[in-house]
Chain A
Amino acid sequence: MELNFVNQNNIGVLHIVGRLDAYNSSELKSYFDQISLETTNHVFEMGGCEFIDSTGLGTIVACLKAASQNGGDIRLANLQDKPRMVFDITRAYKIFHIFDDIDAALMSFDSDF
């Protein structure tokens, strides 16, 4: 899995590329803990994430919880069809704001709906 972070007007954009599963999800959590020191609101750009399992999903939920405790939020952008199925069946779509593209996700912080 590859993680690339960009600070865009105080919103942390994290590009997640590859598989997010039991073998590497701890890597995401540690990385997120580091970037949380810099930004409170985040967009996880999932366009390059081809697979996610229950551990990976649990890690994203843990990141969301951590962000909420800091007064921030995580929004998901460009979620691909296969990972989307995991969000569907676990009802995780109910706790995340999921956007078709990264611009819409960034704009959503401006409108703060």
Chain B
Amino acid sequence: MRCLIYAKSIDSTWVKDCFPEVDRYLLKLVNKPLLEYYLDFAAILKISSIRIVSDTSIKEIENHFKDGAKWGLDISYSLARPEDSLKSVYLKNMSFCREEDLIILDGFFFIDYDHNNLISYFEESKIISCNDINRHLIYLSKDTPFNEIPQLICYYDQSISVREISSVLDYYKLSMEILTRKNKSYVLPGYSNEEDAFYGVNFIFPHTSQVTKPLMIGNNVRFRNNTSVGPAAIIGNNVIIDANTTITESIVYEDTYVSSDLELSGKIIYKNRLISGLTGDSILLTDNILVSQIEMGIMTSFFNRFVQWMISLFLVMVLLLPWLILYLPYRLLKGKPVSDFIINKNLAIKSYLDPEKMKKSSWGRFLLHLQLDKFGLLLLVLSARILLVGNQVFRNNTRNRKLINDLPVYTPGVYSLFESVDAEHGNVEIFYELEYINNCSTIYNLNILMRVIWKRFCHGYKK
């Protein structure tokens, strides 16, 4: 059996209003994109070949699902015109559709089923049928001629039903329902070693914080002191909840900062947008104080770059002579202790002096005291390829590439917050990067710069 998913945009215009940057079919329901629910459903029916057809750009969907190998599926993609009917889409994809029996998932909706029941249903070879008056879910046997599509079968049964998500109110209600009552019916993201609680990786919360089930926490989430989260809270990836804030029956979408001393109940927070889950009212907060997108606007500001460039020029002039006198002989005797580092979000790589290798000899450690390992990177600042102070410049390896992908923005700098604190490498790194992104300002950068220079000069390289 095969599956054709027609990801048409007409059913879901509200998504654009409430979640402007999110592709509607990648809209996360309980931290999982809607299309992934479709794929789970297809996988349960032992479908292995899926064609996703979109009437808008399909690039984001394709980037997310790629060839489907991660889900054990073979996914192909195709485009349609916005005015194309399902019949046109079927005809345009005829060679795919006519090979085997076909399930068609037509449009923006939610398939309400119980994962476990559906598997047993399928194993017992019962007819999969559903309550679907809008005919989003269609079964078409191999021999059915295409011109019969409008009259396709939709049986009434309790095993599956189709839910419309026609407004943000439906979205909120459905999310809460999945989390609180149906979290066992679907495969939800996160680790769950206790009932009704799902935790992502890199979740840090102080002992003064309190979490109450049911709840879902995404990856790279940080709670500050005295936060209280749950019951019925869905926290997305890359979220910071500041001190003394209480969140109940709410959804905090990914890449969002929630300020201190707030009380969120029955709300959806998407970056700096506040939406009532009970009335659908939405306001865009313009001052980035109460809630905001985690972003690095300051990093790209002209003033900040100019200040950083001037300081870099000064440091290059100061370090030039020691570099010529001390580093060049070191290089002749000891070789060039370099490693590959990632210098932007597109994962471009450059080779630079690796302090981990240099610290193995006493001469190398002396050079690290003088920060001569940073000389090459400072020249990159002068050519505006990285910043003086920014995110940590990570070594090129699989773990770090994933970590950079997880960050909402990545603008590396010669000096970083992580280097200015006494922290070990490991899972905590991402929190320093998120904290930096959240707090970044010219003064903050200068503070980091002074701390790292002083720390290096007094104590040398310690990581």
Contacts and interface: CB of A to CB of B under 8 A. Distances in A.
Interface of A: 21-22, 51, 53-55, 81-83, 85-86, 88-91
Interface residues of B, number: 17
Contacts of A55: 287, 289
Given A81-B279, A85-B283, A54 B262 contact: no
Q: Can you list the 5 inter-chain pairs with the closest CB atoms, starting with the nearest?
A: A54-B289, A81-B281, A82-B283, A53-B287, A89-B262
B287 A54 contact: yes
B287 A89 contact: no
B286 A21 contact: yes
Interface string B63-90: 0000000000000000000000000000
Contacts of B283: 51, 82-83, 85-86
Interface in B267-289: 267, 274, 276, 279, 281-283, 285-287, 289
Interface string B244-280: 0000000000000000011111010000001010010
Interface in B283-318: 283, 285-287, 289-290
B267 A85 contact: yes
B417 to A, nearest CB: 26
Contacts of A91: 261-263
A22 B290 CA distance: 13
A51 B286 CA distance: 10
B277 to A, nearest CB: 11
B368 to A, nearest CB: 45
B285 A54 contact: yes
B263 A89 contact: yes
A82 B264 CA distance: 14
A26 B44 CA distance: 60
Given A51-B283, A90-B262, A85 B276 contact: yes
B258 to A, nearest CB: 9
B286 A89 contact: no
15 contacts: A21-B286, A21-B287, A53-B285, A55-B289, A81-B276, A81-B279, A81-B281, A88-B265, A88-B267, A89-B262, A89-B263, A89-B264, A90-B290, A91-B261, A91-B262
B287 A22 contact: yes
B263 A85 contact: no
Contacts of B290: 53-54, 86, 89-90
Contact of B281 (A53, A82, A90): A82
A88 B279 CA distance: 14
B93 to A, nearest CB: 44
Contacts of A86: 274, 283, 285, 290
Contacts of B263: 88-91
Contacts of A89: 262-264, 267, 274, 290
A57 B406 CA distance: 35
A89 B281 CA distance: 14
Contacts of A83: 283
Contacts of B281: 81-82, 85
A55 B261 CA distance: 15
A94 to B, nearest CB: 9
A81 B277 CA distance: 12
A86 B262 CA distance: 10
A88 B287 CA distance: 17
A89 B260 CA distance: 10
Nearest to B250: A89
A21 B260 CA distance: 20
Contacts of B279: 81
Nearest to B283: A82
A102 B287 CA distance: 29
B457 to A, nearest CB: 41
B290 to A, nearest CB: 5
Contacts of A53: 285-287, 289-290
Nearest to B285: A53
Given A22-B287, A86-B285, 6 more contacts: A22-B286, A54-B285, A82-B282, A86-B283, A90-B290, A91-B262
A68 B262 CA distance: 24
Contacts of A85: 267, 274, 276, 281, 283
B265 to A, nearest CB: 7
A53 B279 CA distance: 19
